């Protein structure tokens, strides 16, 4: 359970405090980082200390946490990013997996499979399902290569 | 028939469906139920404990089987205790997620106070049909746990009938499934199996079903029936209104008593004076004053649209986890009682056994002495 946030400081803080939570665990809790890049539905969004308070919905994509020269990458399925006025960022993801745990071969296979399904889909439901599969797999692909 | 006291002890819930348990429960019961050659009769004497007269061999067999049963029930109790701890940790781990969701909900609501929120999940319609999601356990041997929930479900169904409302049931958990299967007059929409560790995936399956029922206007209200974890010996079946969601994220009880979503009760398994106890704490999530310059990357209504299903999911997951914790606590208590009963039964049997053994020895000595006397 989370402790209350400190009030807004008068000067710009140097670090961004990130809470990265999943429904079953807290991946990062009060981690002090330099920058976070989240895949919002409107595009990649970078959050730095002193960012204006924002609520953003996230689409499946790459989430990277930058700490000095260290970069931690996660692939998230979807979620929300909530930036507060005192450089606190809450990132909620329904499912997140560190990038090094994803198998590129599987991703390629899945992508070709779903593209095929999309081409041969007959009903609207099948088309929608196949489209979702293609979207997720291409996002995975670009996350792995990008 | 031969000594049937043992079957009384263990057959409170004979359907143990956990076949993965290394202690094969049924194989221990079977030998006992084989009728022995010497029939024993239970004679209720003036003593408070009923005196049992069987042959020495039968008594020994009985004592052995009671000892085995005691070992099994004690093991089950310890396993349940370990699992309760894990279940409690799962609840604690899931809290940051739902807390943050509630915060976002609050902020959005502050912003949208002037606008009319038109999200399908918050539609309040005149109620004609109600969906009941009933959460039960998968296995037996947990005391009255499943019974309480099912009784409450029946009571609620009766209430709805007297109000003239139609209803449909979504059953989660093998025990509930078999109960409703035997009663075809109760309409059941879906049967789902519970699991040892409820994850967002299972919660999503339930959420999807409930969502589609509500949005397609097949039902106008969805109620969630689960067991709230009160203490190790007490559990409380409660009914919560799941849908329609209030945009503020309040959790409403059946009587319309609404609890602010930011207030959250949680339980902690701790040790007090060497005994396992449960402490309940009420924690109020800090709802920060919303910043007037809060920017929305997307349309707030769109965000709300995406947020509420996630909130629904986390509510269901929370209910599943609490239900699991209650079931484990009930099993712990039931197995604890069974262990105590088994040890008492073993004590009584041993006493009778020793007494009979000594009587037999005395008899033999007397025979020998009498024989020696006769010869002399």
Distance CA B39, CA B45 (A): 18
pLDDT: is B61 or B247 the higher one? B61
> Would the CB atoms of B291 and A57 count as touching at under 8 Å?
no
CB pairs under 8 A between A and B: 99
Interface of B with A (CB under 8 A): 90, 92-97, 99-101, 103-104, 107-108, 199-200, 203, 266, 283, 285-286, 288, 291, 293-298, 300, 302-303, 306-307, 310, 313-314, 317
Please state the ipTM of this predicted complex. Answer: 0.77
In angstroms, what CA-CA distances link B281 with B46, B154, B275, B331?
51, 31, 19, 23
**Model pLDDT for residues B23-36, shown as the tens digit of each residue:** 444 444 434 444 44
> Would the CB atoms of B303 and A84 count as touching at under 8 Å?
no
Q: How confident is the model at residue B344 (pLDDT cuts 50, 70, 90)?
A: very high
B292: CB partners within 8 A, 6+ apart: none
Which chain A residues are closer than 8 Å to B285 by Cβ? 2
Whether residue A36 is predicted with pLDDT greater than 50 in this model: the reply is yes
**Residue B287: closest CA among B94, B92, B107:** B107
Tell me, what's the pLDDT at B84?
86
Tell me, what's the pLDDT at B273?
53
- Nearest by CB to A53, which of B97, B291, B317? B291
* Mean pLDDT of chain B, nearest integer: 76
Per-residue pLDDT averaged across B130-155, rounded?
89
User: Whole-model pTM above 0.90?
Assistant: no
Distance CA B196, CA B320 (A): 10
Per-residue pLDDT averaged across B285-292, rounded?
53
**Model pLDDT for residues A126-141, shown as the tens digit of each residue:** 888 888 888 888 888 8
> Would the CB atoms of B296 and A41 count as touching at under 8 Å?
no
Q: How confident is the model at residue B199 (pLDDT cuts 50, 70, 90)?
A: confident
Per-residue pLDDT averaged across B47-53, rounded?
52
Query: Which DSSP letter does residue B139 get?
Result: S
Per-residue pLDDT averaged across A88-99, rounded?
86
Give just the sign of the alpha carbon dihedral A135, A96, B89, B102.
negative
pLDDT: is B219 or B347 the higher one? B347
Tell me, what's the pLDDT at A78?
83
The answer to which of A62-71, B17-26, B311-320 has the lowest mean pLDDT is B17-26
Tell me, what's the pLDDT at B257?
53
Give just the sign of the alpha carbon dihedral A42, A45, A51, A55.
positive
Per-residue pLDDT averaged across B117-125, rounded?
72
Whether residue B73 is predicted with pLDDT greater than 90 in this model: the reply is yes
**Residue B198: closest CA among B259, B136, B252:** B136
Which chain A residues are closer than 8 Å to B320 by Cβ? none
Tell me, what's the pLDDT at B59?
92
CA B332 to chain centre: 10
The answer to which of A128-137, B110-119, B146-155, B237-246 has the lowest mean pLDDT is B110-119
User: What phi and psi, each to the nearest 5 degrees, are found at residue A29?
Assistant: -130, 110
Whether residue A115 is predicted with pLDDT greater than 90 in this model: the reply is no
Q: How confident is the model at residue A5 (pLDDT cuts 50, 70, 90)?
A: low
Q: Round the CA-based radius of gyration of chain B to a whole number and report it.
A: 28
Q: How confident is the model at residue B16 (pLDDT cuts 50, 70, 90)?
A: very low
pLDDT: is A14 or B26 the higher one? A14
The answer to which of A77-86, B291-300, B333-342 has the lowest mean pLDDT is B291-300
Tell me, what's the pLDDT at B291?
59
> Would the CB atoms of B310 and A92 count as touching at under 8 Å?
yes
Q: Count of CB atoms within 10 A of residue B260's CB?
A: 15
Q: Count of CB atoms within 10 A of residue B270's CB?
A: 11
- Exposure string of B110-130, with b = 16+ CB inside 10 Å and e = fewer, is ebeeeeeeebebeeeeeeeeb
Length of chain B as a residue count? 376
3-state secondary structure of A139: helix
> Would the CB atoms of B288 and A5 count as touching at under 8 Å?
yes
Whether residue B2 is predicted with pLDDT greater than 70 in this model: the reply is no
B142 is annotated as an active-site residue: yes
> Would the CB atoms of B99 and A85 count as touching at under 8 Å?
no
Tell me, what's the pLDDT at B72?
95
In chain A, which residue's Cα lies nearest the Cα of B264?
Answer: A1
Q: How confident is the model at residue B93 (pLDDT cuts 50, 70, 90)?
A: confident
**Model pLDDT for residues B208-217, shown as the tens digit of each residue:** 888 888 888 8
Catalytic residue among B3, B40, B54, B142: B142
> Would the CB atoms of B298 and A5 count as touching at under 8 Å?
no
Whether residue B282 is predicted with pLDDT greater than 60 in this model: the reply is no
B293: CB partners within 8 A, 6+ apart: A52, A53, A85
In angstroms, what CA-CA distances link B343 with A68, B69, B143, B265, B346?
63, 9, 19, 38, 5
Percentage of chain B with pLDDT > 70?
70
Tell me, what's the pLDDT at B38?
44
Which chain B residues are closer than 8 Å to A54 by Cβ? 294-297
Tell me, what's the pLDDT at B365?
96
Whether residue B245 is predicted with pLDDT greater than 90 in this model: the reply is no
Nearest chain A Cα distance for residue B215, angstroms = 17
Tell me, what's the pLDDT at B276?
52
pLDDT: is B44 or B271 the higher one? B271
HSE-CB of B111 using CA atoms within 13 angstroms: 21
Distance CA A96, CA A118 (A): 26
Per-residue pLDDT averaged across B279-283, rounded?
55
Tell me, what's the pLDDT at B46?
40
- Nearest by CB to A5, which of B203, B286, B298? B286
């Amino acid at each position: 359970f989370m402790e209350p946030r400190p009030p807004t400081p008068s000067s710009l803080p140097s670090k961004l405090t990130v809470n990265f939570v999943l429904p079953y665990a807290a991946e990062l809790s009060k981690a002090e980082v330099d920058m976070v890049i989240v895949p919002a539905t409107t595009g990649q969004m970078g959050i730095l200390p002193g960012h204006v308070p924002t609520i953003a919905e996230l689409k499946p994509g790459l989430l990277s946490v930058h700490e000095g020269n260290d970069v931690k990458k996660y692939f998230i399925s979807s979620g929300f990013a909530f930036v507060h006025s005192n450089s606190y960022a809450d990132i909620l993801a329904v499912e997140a997996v560190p990038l090094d745990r994803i198998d590129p071969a599987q991703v390629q296979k899945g992508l070709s499979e779903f593209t095929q399904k999309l081409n041969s889909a007959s009903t609207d439901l099948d088309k929608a399902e196949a489209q979702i599969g293609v979207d997720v797999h291409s996002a995975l692909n670009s996350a792995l290569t990008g | 028939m031969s000594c049937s006291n043992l079957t009384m002890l263990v057959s409170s819930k004979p359907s143990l469906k956990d076949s993965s348990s290394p202690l094969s429960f049924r194989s221990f019961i079977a030998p006992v139920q084989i009728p022995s050659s010497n029939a024993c009769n239970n004679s209720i004497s003036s003593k408070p404990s009923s005196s049992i007269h069987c042959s020495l061999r039968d008594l020994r067999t009985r004592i052995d089987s009671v000892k085995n049963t005691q070992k099994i029930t004690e093991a089950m109790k310890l396993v349940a205790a370990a699992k309760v701890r894990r279940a409690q940790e799962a609840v604690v781990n899931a809290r940051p997620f739902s807390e943050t969701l509630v915060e976002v909900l609050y902020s959005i609501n502050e912003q949208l106070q002037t606008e009319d929120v038109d999200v399908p999940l918050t539609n309040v319609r005149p109620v004609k049909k109600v969906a009941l999601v009933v959460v039960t356990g998968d296995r037996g041997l947990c005391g009255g746990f499943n019974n309480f929930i099912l009784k409450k479900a029946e009571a609620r169904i009766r209430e709805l009938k007297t109000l003239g409302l139609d209803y449909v049931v979504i059953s989660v958990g093998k025990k509930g499934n078999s109960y409703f299967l035997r009663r075809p007059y109760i309409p059941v929409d879906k049967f789902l199996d519970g699991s040892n560790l409820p994850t967002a995936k299972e919660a999503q399956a339930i959420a999807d079903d409930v969502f589609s029922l509500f949005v397609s206007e097949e039902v106008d209200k969805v109620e969630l029936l689960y067991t709230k974890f009160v203490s190790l010996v007490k559990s409380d079946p409660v009914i919560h209104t799941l849908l329609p969601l209030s945009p503020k994220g309040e959790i409403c009880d059946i009587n319309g008593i609404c609890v602010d979503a930011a207030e959250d009760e949680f339980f902690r398994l701790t040790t007090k004076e060497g005994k396992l106890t449960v402490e309940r704490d009420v924690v109020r999530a800090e709802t920060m004053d919303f910043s007037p310059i809060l920017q929305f990357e997307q349309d707030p209504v769109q965000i709300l649209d995406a947020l509420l299903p996630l909130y629904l999911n986390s509510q269901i997951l929370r209910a599943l986890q609490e239900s699991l914790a209650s079931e484990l606590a009930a099993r712990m208590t039931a197995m604890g009682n069974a262990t105590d009963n088994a040890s008492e039964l073993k004590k009584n049997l041993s006493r009778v056994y020793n007494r009979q053994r000594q009587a037999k020895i005395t008899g033999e000595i007397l025979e020998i002495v009498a024989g020696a006397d006769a010869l002399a």
